[in-house]
Amino acid sequence: MRITGLGHAGMFIETAGGSILCDPVVKSSFYGSWFVFPDNRGLDWERFGAADMLYISHRHRDHFDPWLLRQYVRPNIEILLPDYPTDDLEQDLRKLGFHNITYTHAGEAIERGPLRLMVTPLRAPSDGPIGDSSLSVDDGSASILNQNDSHPLDLEKLLSFSKPELYFTQFSGAIWWPMVYDLPEDAKKNFAHLKREAQHKRAMYYIEKVDAPHVFPMAGPPMFLRDELFRYNGWGLENDSIFTDQAQFLARLADEAPQYDGHVFIPGTVVTLESGDLSVEQTLYTDAEIDEMFADKWGYLERQRAARQQEIADEEASRAEVLPPAEMLAALKEWWEPLLRRARTIRSGVGGAVRMTIGELDLVVDFPKAKVREYAGEEAVYWFTIPADLVSTNIAEHEIDWSNSIFLSMQFTASRSGKFNEFITTFFKCLSRDRIEYVENWYAEQADVSEDTQIGDWVVQRRCPHLRADLSKTGKIEDGVLTCSLHDWKWDLTSGRCLTTQGHPIRSHPIEDALYREATAPAAI
């Protein structure tokens, strides 16, 4: 088996049963904000576009590049479609002319001669754009796991497919916190450090659980080449950003878990594995160029910024004409109010007004009343300031997931009163009836928390209130605080209060209380 790195989460997998093109991206993403690091334009895209199969893990635009797919990928290629609750990705692909679709099923292997593969989807509201997935591949000569951005909960089931020898996984963040928030600089630096550490812990958790001998960090970091975002590359010019690079991660991996061999995986990296024999070579960049790229990263980024300003200008010129404030308010009101009326759990979870300043328009989304109206001076739980051309473009394109457009662009600012509120970002991912209906039903299904488990000296509900992870496997307790290692959410066990966000309490009590209740319970009659 041979795997070629295509940049970010992209890879080209050549197997004994055919080739698979995974998450190919060459254009900038999220309104010209994210560029592939390092530059991958020099790859032979004609060759990779002739693959036998195409796998797009999810709809995020740093994984799904319509321009590249139109330009290089043959329209009759077999599509390996993840088993998602809504058909948004399928419709995106059909609009591009792809109709040879294989509908994969969660946990079920597909066979192509000696090739076995399996797509494992995730379907929670916080999984990518309501859906993320991983790809397992085994052709008899080698076995790999391409996890990309996904955070699977049932690793035992995933790993029952085969024992991976090569493990490809996200290690760097894909989020806008805390960079866009109105925070004192010291607080922003502290929150950025905490976020980097949480991301690193999560990556290490999966590396240890998967236990593959060879680890390839991928799916990040991006390059920010817009002038106003340039300072947020890597850890930031002021140490207030969250994007760890490959060299930084591999250095920590070697120090903390030397039993695993970590490898640089960038555009042009070619990994060959057959019967346990591994070779890794660089074909697009020389070893000296790679060393220079990481040793003088800001110099490399400056050269990229200088060379690619026309791409940024072209993207800005492609945006929709800005709507007048009254027309914009009317369009958002017509679009969002029917969705709000259906979003009972989300409205309750937000519990207040979200203010949005969009150019000359100042509005609130009144979640309790399911209304979109002009701002009238009331208190808001969140406040977004967003350029009017971005919102006008989202309206024109009827973009149903604003996390996959405006929010990941980082071309906005935000402030909040209190903690992070998951329900707000969930609403802005669910700007279609199908998505709202699915997420509301998903929340309803999570209400059963009757099963308990013991962790140390505490009895807690077995399922994490966030995404239903099995806390007997992912939970750790220190000084009365429970941490779920998948997303670093925390709870005070004495009160059951979530320390990470509003809502999401946990049921918990010390083991002594459980023993006392058992000993003093009346006998059954």
Query: Final residue of a domain: which of 287, 312, 337?
Result: 312
User: Long-range contact list for 490-498, CB < 8 A, 24+ apart?
Assistant: 491/465, 493/458, 493/460, 498/465
Residue 285 lies in a domain: yes
For residue 167, what pLDDT band results from cuts at 50, 70 and 90? Answer: very high
Same domain, 283 and 420: no
* Residue 318 covered by a domain: no
Strand 53-55 relative to strand 18-22, pairing: parallel
Q: Is residue 225 part of a domain?
A: yes
Q: What is the band of 127 on the pLDDT scale with cuts at 50, 70, 90?
A: confident
- Tell me: do 57 and 199 sit in the same domain: yes
Average pLDDT of the residues in 446-473: 81
Is the residue at 94 inside a domain? yes
Q: What is the pLDDT of residue 518?
A: 44
Q: Residue 243 belongs to a domain with what CATH number?
A: 3.60.15.10
**How distant is the alpha carbon of residue 51 from its chain centre?**
26
Mean pLDDT of all residues in 481-504: 85
- pLDDT-derived band at 13 (thresholds 50, 70, 90) equals very high
User: Stretch 184-195: mean pLDDT, rounded?
Assistant: 96
> So what's the pLDDT on residue 6?
98
Enumerate residues 6+ apart whose C-beta is below 8 A from 377.
none
Question: What is the chain's length?
Answer: 525
431 within 8 A of 402, measured Cβ to Cβ: yes
Look at residue 525 and tell me whether its pLDDT is greater than 50: no
Helices (H), 351-432: 388-397, 406-409, 422-429
Which residues 6+ apart lie within 8 Å of 329 measured at CB? 361, 363, 372, 373, 374
**Is 449 a residue whose pLDDT tops 70?**
no
* Residue 48: inside a domain: yes
**Helix axes of 246-256 and 185-210: crossing angle, nearest 10 degrees:** 60
Cα separation of 121 and 134, whole Å?
7
**pLDDT for the residue 470:** 80
47 and 183 fall within a common domain: yes
- Assess contact for 240 and 292: CB atoms under 8 A: no
Higher pLDDT, 474 or 213: 213
Instruction: Give percent above pLDDT 70 in the chain.
Output: 97
pLDDT tens digits, 267-317: 999 999 988 899 999 999 999 999 999 999 999 999 999 999 999 999 999
CA distance 215 to 203: 11
Q: What residues contact residue 56 under an 8 Å CB cut-off, 6+ apart?
A: 22, 23, 63, 64, 79, 89, 93
Taking the CA atoms of 182, 175, 501 and 238 in sequence, report the sign of the dihedral they define.
Answer: negative
Q: What's the rounded mean pLDDT across residues 18-29?
A: 98
What pLDDT is recorded for position 444?
80
* Arithmetic mean of pLDDT, 183-187: 95
Split at pLDDT 50, 70, 90, the class of 448 is: low
Q: What is the pLDDT of residue 513?
A: 58
Taking the CA atoms of residue 388, residue 390, residue 396 and residue 402 in that order, the dihedral angle to the nearest 10 degrees is -120
Residues 118, 172: one domain? yes
Q: Which of 16-20, 68-72, 149-153, 427-431 has the lowest mean pLDDT?
A: 149-153
Residues 353 and 461 in one domain: no
Interval 230-236 mean pLDDT: 97
Distance CA 193, CA 170 (A): 18
Whether 34 and 154 map to the same domain: the answer is yes
* pLDDT exceeds 60 at position 522: no
Q: Do 305 and 41 contact (CB within 8 A), yes or no? A: no
**Could you say which DSSP state residue 122 is in?**
E
Whether residue 429 is contained in a domain is answered as yes
In a shared domain, residues 434 and 457: no
Per-residue model confidence (pLDDT) at position 447: 61
- Residue 467, pLDDT score: 63
Residue 288 shares a structural domain with residue 337? no
Q: Dihedral of CA 54/59/61/62: which sign? A: negative
CATH of the domain at 346: 3.30.1050.10
pLDDT of residue 112: 94
Lowest mean pLDDT among 10-24, 88-102, 288-302, 499-513: 499-513
Instruction: Inform me whether the pLDDT recorded for 446 exceeds 50.
Output: yes
The answer to whether 32 touches 26, Cβ cutoff 8 Å, is no
Q: Which domain holds residue 184?
A: 2-312
Question: What is the reported pLDDT for 524?
Answer: 37
- What pLDDT score does 519 carry? 41
Q: What is the mean pLDDT of the chain?
A: 93
Q: Are residues 415 and 502 in the same domain?
A: no
Residues 499-507: what's their mean pLDDT? 82
CA distances from 308 to 27, 225, 388, 406, 408 (A): 11, 8, 24, 21, 20
Q: What pLDDT score does 359 carry? A: 97
**For residue 319, is it within any domain?**
no
* Residue that terminates a domain, selected from 254, 279, 312: 312
Q: Are residues 351 and 298 in the same domain?
A: no
Mean pLDDT, residues 335-351? 96
Is 111 part of a structural domain of the chain?
yes
Q: Does residue 149 share a domain with residue 97? A: yes
- Domain count for the chain: 3
Lowest mean pLDDT among 90-94, 115-119, 171-175, 503-507: 503-507
Does residue 219 share a domain with residue 154?
Answer: yes
Domain's final residue, options 443, 470, 500: 443
Rounded-to-integer distance, Cα 478 and Cα 482, Å: 7
